Amino acid sequence: GSANGAAAFRLPPFGAPRFEAAATFAGARPGYVFKAGEQGVGYYADGPDPAAHDEAAPPPLPEGWVEGTSPEGYAYYFHSPTQTSSWERPTAATAVSATVPLSPALTASLTAKRRAGVSQLQADSGAQVLLQGGVATLSGTARAVARAQELLQRKAAALEFVASRSRPAAARPPPPLPPTEAAPDYNFSGLVQPAPPSGGLNLLGAYNSDSDGS
Query: Do 132 and 100 form a contact (C-beta atoms < 8 A)?
Result: no
* 42 Rama class: left (phi>0) / alpha (psi -120 to 50) / beta: left
pLDDT in tens, 129-173: 999 989 999 999 998 999 999 999 999 999 999 888 887 766 667
Q: What is the pLDDT of residue 193?
A: 57
Contacts of 9 (CB under 8 A, 6+ apart): 31, 46, 47
Contacts of 148 (CB under 8 A, 6+ apart): 121, 122, 125, 127, 129, 138, 140
Calpha distance 13→30 (Å, rounded)? 8
Average pLDDT of span 70-87: 88
**Domains of the chain (ranges plus CATH)?**
19-56 (no CATH), 92-166 (3.30.1370.10)
Calpha distance 199→208 (Å, rounded)? 17
Least confident among 67-71, 124-128, 150-154: 67-71
Calpha distance 119→129 (Å, rounded)? 8
187-189-192 Cα angle (round to 5): 115
4: pLDDT confidence band, cut at 50, 70 and 90? very low
Q: What is the pLDDT of residue 46?
A: 76
Distances (CA, A) of 149 to 24, 98, 105, 185, 199: 64, 9, 16, 71, 107
2: pLDDT confidence band, cut at 50, 70 and 90? very low
**C-alpha torsion 5→7→8→10, nearest 10:** -170
Q: What is the pLDDT of residue 197?
A: 58
Three-state secondary structure readout of 23-70: CCCCCCCCCEEEEEECCEEEEEECCCCHHHHHHHCCCCCCCCEEEEEC
Residue 189 has pLDDT above 80, yes or no: no
pLDDT in tens, 23-33: 888 888 877 88
Q: What is the pLDDT of residue 207?
A: 45
Taking the mean position of all CA atoms in its chain, how far away is CA 38?
52
* 203 Rama class: left (phi>0) / alpha (psi -120 to 50) / beta: alpha
User: Which has more pLDDT, 72 or 101?
Assistant: 101
